[in-house]
Amino acid sequence: MRRLYILVLACLSTFIGMSSRALAFDEFDMEHAPSRFSLNYEDLTLEIKGRARLGLHDLQGSGGPEYDSQTDTATIGTRSPFVELDSFDLSFRLNWSELIWFNTNISFYTDGTSLSAIYFEYEQELTDWYEHGVEVGYLSSVVATDRRTIRYPLIATAYWKNPEYHVAYGAKFSVSSETYFSAYASASFMRPLRTEPIHGSPTYAGAYSTLSYGSSKPYSGNSAAGTFLVKVFSHGFSIEGFGQIGDIVTAKGLDTLISAYPYYRALDEYNSEDLRAFVWWAGARIAYNGYGAHFMAEAIASQEHLIRRVGTYAQASYTFTRKSDFLNAFELLARYEGAWTIDSTKVQQTGKTLRSPDINNAISWDHQIITLAARVRIVKDILTLRVEYNFFLEDNGVSALNYKQTDIDDNELLIQIEARY
């Protein structure tokens, strides 16, 4: 039976005994990366996996040294297309018993190294229809899921992409081999708000950014957050509901909002004495996987202090396969996504809006993105080629202030070769 990875709020006793969700999404699980190497000593087993991703990135715009401006408003300041190591990842999994595991994922980049996951995992199948588990450590949110493309969807970047410190509990109730219900809950430290590039490469000069929940980091005043997810699955179809609540504090929350939105202080509801603010985000996801077809749609709404946002995406793909160890899978994918800051153009009593007349500030813009992608599995379980083109459409005008729309040329071509070992 497929391993139930379960993340969850052990401290949310209302979920215990009822159910919780099983595991956080793991790009190194057996489905995505079959084990290639293992060491055994008595009752201990160490599994080692790896992945290297090399990418070509080309952001629309003139290249060459004479086009090196980082403040170009019509075209993002970028040079010629470049190649970089997207990531070099190592995954270690130590099996202490049939019930307990210790997992570590380390990622290496051209500009540094990061620990993307380190956690303990317990899971147990109690009956034919009920299993549960616990995870404790630093890893992805219980809401995270497979992205299928080189670039994360915009709302994934904004809400659930980055890892966190949490303790999680989950449970799964099976009605049959093809139908089950699962639920998950986790208690974590609130991830700090930050700005993060919306394009596929964070190294672009002058790339536009969105407001996101970054990776968990210890800092003074760090507060708690609670996350939940419930899921119903039957014959390839699934539907999920999820959300998170918590507080942000001045050092890593309100300060980011104030600096990211030039006229944040001009909002009618702004109070300079606010040092801590309640935040929440919630959403739903539907999906189907079967007979080579894939479909997924997701929507999230949120409020970060005085900022209200909503985002959504829908993607569909079909995978052609053949029985061979070489060139055995070819997938075509299309995705539409949008993200909007609510009331960003509403004129306040001060005569200002959240949407700044500074064209270089894209945090409060509305975004629509169309993605066309292809994936070729060159060597089974080892070598994969991905090609992806992203069309970016921005809404940055404010008609109430006679601020006209400015079209931005920032479409993006991504090509990536991935080797697993």
Q: How confident is the model at residue 27 (pLDDT cuts 50, 70, 90)?
A: low
Average pLDDT over residues 256-277: 85
Report whether pLDDT(74) > 60.
no
Report whether pLDDT(248) > 60.
yes
Q: pLDDT for 283-337, tens place per residue? A: 999 999 999 999 999 999 999 999 999 999 999 999 999 999 899 999 999 999 9
Report whether pLDDT(275) > 90.
no
pLDDT at 23: 53
Q: Which residues pair with 371 in a beta bridge?
A: 335, 390
Domains in the chain, ordered, with CATH?
A: 37-420 (2.40.160.10)
Percent of the chain with pLDDT over 90: 51
Q: pLDDT for 221-245, tens place per residue? A: 678 899 999 999 999 999 999 999 9
Burial of residue 295, with CB atoms counted within 10 A of its CB: 0-12 exposed, 13-18 middle, 19 or more buried:
middle
Report whether pLDDT(30) > 60.
no
More confident residue, 271 or 298: 298
C-alpha distance from residue 285 to each of 7, 148, 229, 234, 315 (Å): 18, 15, 10, 14, 12
Mean pLDDT of the chain: 84
Chain Cα centroid distance, residue 390:
17
pLDDT at 142: 94
- Residue whose structure tokens are 């809404």: 395
Average pLDDT over residues 361-385: 92
Average pLDDT over residues 372-377: 97
Cα separation of 140 and 98, whole Å? Answer: 23
Report whether pLDDT(269) > 80.
yes
Report whether pLDDT(169) > 60.
yes
Cα separation of 195 and 193, whole Å? Answer: 7
Rg (CA), the chain: 22
C-alpha distance from residue 329 to each of 36, 265, 286, 384, 420 (Å): 20, 53, 24, 9, 16
Residue 311's nearest CA partner among 323, 297, 291, 325 is 297
More confident residue, 118 or 73: 118
Cα separation of 6 and 173, whole Å? Answer: 13
Report whether pLDDT(76) > 60.
no
